[in-house]
Structure 1
Amino acid sequence: MIGVPRRQDLPRKLRYFPSPRALLAFEAAARKGSLTEAGKELNVSRVAVSRQVRQLELQLGFDLFVRGQSHVDLTRSGKRLSRVISGAFRSIFEEIEALMNTNTESLISISTTAGVATYWLMPIIGKYKRIKPNVHFRLLTTQEIINLSASDVDIAIRYGSGSWPGTVNTELQPNWVSPLCNRAFLATHGPFKSLADLCRVPLLEYEAAVDSTSSWTAYFHQVGMLESPPTGMSTYDSFVNFVQAVLDGQGVGLLGPPLMEQFLAGGVLVPALEAPRVQQGMYFLCQRHGATPSQSVREFSDWLLKELTPVEVESTQRTSPQS
């Protein structure tokens, strides 16, 4: 092939990328089956289309068309390339149309972790959409603490101390953990009379937890149990996988509200036994300090605070210093 690079980094590959005008000419000619009709669509002459296609063929090093007097037929290579280019152009045009039709005033961009998004925020967003069907959401899931001042994120839901530079942080709910399992697991392995009984059944643990008190060793220590859990427990570096394992009845995990509230309320998850519930850190609603949110963001934030903040817990705001 002429001018086609081997596997290199993207910036070097782009130097060999075909002319967008040549790709447009080829796509139109392939779709119309005619250089003349392609020229009419692109508002250029048949000769101009033919020249662009020929330059593309010379760059690629293979023929794209078998030329007839009044029409062109795609070669095997031409058919393959036509499918890819047509699909790419279609995706570009659809995305541009979607962006042009998006009302940014009704778009709310939220950043949080996959666990919060999956088990807490998604049901809440669904409930709000029934109230405000014209509001749209852009949900970004990440374990990283993104800089709200340098992003287009309107709201972040974070877990921790509430001290993040350049943000205004409002308390939502504390996180609680205790031994939970599904009903079938309890029926098969229970009942458990004491925490020591849990050491004889599979225990599950989220090993990548930000809060160190999420481990079984820390939990046993906090509730005053000196015996350590078995070392052969199953661990997960993904919170979603960890929760799914508990939901599937693979063992007992340290979980609780607010993230597991829907499963507890529905009876999907149950306490493994009457055991102490340990409070961990706090979830916060975070916004950029000094930001002027849109009406949609303000209304959703106000509704979210009323929906998520327990009546008995007084919500407080903390403004962290600018970074």
Structure 2
Amino acid sequence: MSQLHSFEAVARRMSFTAAADELCLTQSAVSRQIRALEEDLGRALFLRKHRAIELTQEGRDLFEAVTRGLDEIALAVNGLRRASDTPQITVATSVAFSYYCLMPRLERFADRYPEIDLRILATDQLVDLGKDDADVAVLFGDGNWPGVEARRLFGERVYPVCSAGYLQNHPELRRPSDLLDQTLLHLDGGGTIWGAVDWHAWLVQQGVTGQPVRRGIRLNSYPMVLQGAEAGRGVALGWSYITDAMLASGQLVCLFDTPLVTSCSYYIGASSARAADPAVAAFLQWMVEECDGME
């Protein structure tokens, strides 16, 4: 093998001197290895000229074979190294989903799959799963994304929420139209990446067409919106997959049992190519199981 390794270096560099430098050997040592290889094969591999060398036909045949062999060995070694590496996947979600829905569950994923290294990318910008932005993403829509394997998690249900103290201080809040005279907390920024439900859409769905009397409070982060609601600063729209648990714990109360239910849903997805990866497939299945029963 050492003779073949030296032969490959000389044939590739077309120089005994350059090959010796690459292999950290003396030129004479490389020459002896090549001579021993030629004697063993009974064939000349190089035409030695005054200031240059050339491969013989036998030398070219052997060089092609050795190159293919070394390439295959390198591929096999790299594959074994990758297999021994800790699998890592990047999961892209909205800021709200990562904060309220994903983070509280990650310990269970780590207990079940301690060998998988998760990287969470919290962003309210669109993520292209066809590129290297992320391996997995939480998506919102009808479930049809070309080239993406998507699994439904739950639907979209939106209703107004506030703190118990705020409701106690505003006993006049009895009908959806009464919200026009309340401080409404708005989510600004992020476009309609997760849907188009805002206060205007919810009020229209309830048959309320008037304009709010008071100035609302606009925030560019949904966790801040819910913190404002918990602090009694106003009324917010609650997405059920986040706020159902906050209602159960008493952090917030639901004002009206008339949610807006859209035709779209939340999905967990990965590109068709990445979905076949064992680590990605495990995360997709785990997320479906975690969200089972949520609507």
- Shared fold, TM over 0.5: yes
| Residue pair 1:216, 1:229 contacting (<8 A) in 2 also | no
Change over 3 Å in CA distance of 1:104–1:154 after alignment to 2:
farther
Count of residues in correspondence between the two structures: 211
In structure 2, the residue matched to 1:306 is 289
Match status 1:277 vs 2:268: no
C-alpha deviation, 1:180, in angstroms: 0.3
Match status 1:215 vs 2:189: no
Q: For 1:114 and 1:103, how far apart are their aligned partners in 2?
A: 32
C-alpha deviation, 1:304, in angstroms: 1.2
In structure 2, the residue matched to 1:144 is 125
C-alpha deviation, 1:225, in angstroms: 2.1
CA deviation profile, 1:160-206 (whole Å, cap 9, x unmatched): 33343421122111121111012222222236221222223211111
Change over 3 Å in CA distance of 1:290–1:131 after alignment to 2:
closer
CA deviation profile, 1:19-70 (whole Å, cap 9, x unmatched): xxxxxxxxxxxxxxxxxxxxxxxxxxxxxxxxxxxxxxxxxxxxxxxxxxxx
Q: For 2:235 and 2:101, how far apart are their aligned partners in 1?
A: 21
Stretches of 4+ aligned residues off by more than 4 angstroms? 102-105
Match status 1:202 vs 2:183: yes
Runs of at least 5 residues in structure 1 that lack an aligned partner in the other structure? 1-99, 314-323
C-alpha deviation, 1:251, in angstroms: 0.5
In structure 2, the residue matched to 1:36 is none
In structure 1, the residue matched to 2:143 is 162
C-alpha deviation, 1:153, in angstroms: 2.5
C-alpha deviation, 1:228, in angstroms: 3.0
3-state SS of paired residue (1:150): coil
Structure 1 residue aligned with 2:159, among 178, 200, 208? Answer: 178
CA deviation profile, 1:254-304 (whole Å, cap 9, x unmatched): 1121122332231211112x3410013311111102335443332222121
Query: What TM-score do the two structures reach when normalised by structure 2?
Result: 0.63
Structure 1 residue aligned with 2:101, among 115, 120, 139? Answer: 120
In structure 2, the residue matched to 1:252 is 235
Change over 3 Å in CA distance of 1:114–1:103 after alignment to 2:
farther
| Residue pair 1:110, 1:154 contacting (<8 A) in 2 also | yes
| Residue pair 1:180, 1:252 contacting (<8 A) in 2 also | yes
In structure 2, the residue matched to 1:135 is 116
Identity of aligned residues (%): 24
C-alpha deviation, 1:104, in angstroms: 4.6
Structure 1 segment 27-176 matched on structure 2, within 5 A:
104-151=85-132, 153-176=134-157
Query: What TM-score do the two structures reach when normalised by structure 1?
Result: 0.58
CA deviation profile, 1:182-241 (whole Å, cap 9, x unmatched): 222222223622122222321111133516642222211111123333362112222232
